[in-house]
Amino acid sequence: EVLEFSPVKFFMPMSKINYRNHRKILIVDGKVGFLGGVNIADRYYYGTSRGEWYDTQVKIYGESVFALQASYLLDRYFILNHRIKFTKKYYPHIAIDNIERSDKGGDSFYGQIISSGPDSDWAGIMQCYFTAINVAKNHIFITSPYFTPNESILNALKVAALGGIDVKIMIPKRCDSVTAHFSTRSYVTELLEAGIKIYLFTNGFNHSKVISIDGDVSIIGSANMDSRSFEHNFEVMSVIYNSDCTKVVEGEFLENIKKCEQIELKSWKKRPVKDKLREGVFRLLAPLI
């Protein structure tokens, strides 16, 4: 008797059901680009019953817009499997006065657009975060509404703090997702024990995804500090190599600290047992959210 085996086949959309385009991109005439954490929804303008909705968005000019536009066009191709015909109207000439302003110390500066997603062999944004954390010499400021990092990022942050780097992380006091709320808090104890300072934003919901390093480099975009953004979502970030811009970003961070409650390790360990149990359960789901 000869046994014949048929290959196992899955319904094709199931292979992509976990993908999510989380990028927030607006491009105007190939000359101006916007990216960050801002979606198009009423709550971003009006807020919610929990208070105001805070977010961070950047506006870029120049050749960096080309990279942002390439990210958009790749998304389009990924969805439609149809190439767009490239013409000069999509990539207009960049006026030389932008370069001249840069030479004179004006408002132009070096920037980099990093995209990552399930269509890439490399977790580019996660690797960017990892590198930025490892090169820090003085301080690291992080704002993220959902904080469930993978082991690489988690260890990098703890090693930085244990090495004397001032690491501050701002997360919402009340998250818009119960799962994300307790998953995020499951990391707090080990972060505090490593000397990392944790701040709970109390004045509404802070949806910003921002990292700044040593007052020199800032990273702003759509990616949260979680495994989903690192591995499953289509994300885009801007890396800004400019101290003036980064000082503005860090000034906003320090201003927002005034609207936060700092978590102290001693009092944190006295939180209700039911919260500790929830954190333990939802920690198991951290790689999925």
Active site positions, annotated? 22, 24, 29, 207, 209, 214
3 phi-psi bin (left φ>0, alpha ψ -120 to 50, beta other): beta
Distance, CA of 76 to CA of 205 (rounded, Å) = 31
| Phi, psi values for residue 216, rounded to 5° | -115, -35
Amino acid at 263: I
Q: Alpha helix (H) ranges present in the chain?
A: 43-46, 64-80, 97-103, 124-135, 151-162, 178-185, 188-193, 227, 243-257, 265-268, 273-283
What does the block give as tokens for 64?
């960096």
Please name the amino acid found at residue 204: G
Buried/exposed code over 247-258 (b: 16+ C-beta within 10 A; e: otherwise): eebbebbeebbe
**Dist. CA 170–CA 11, nearest whole Å:** 41
Written as one letter, the residue type at 256 is N
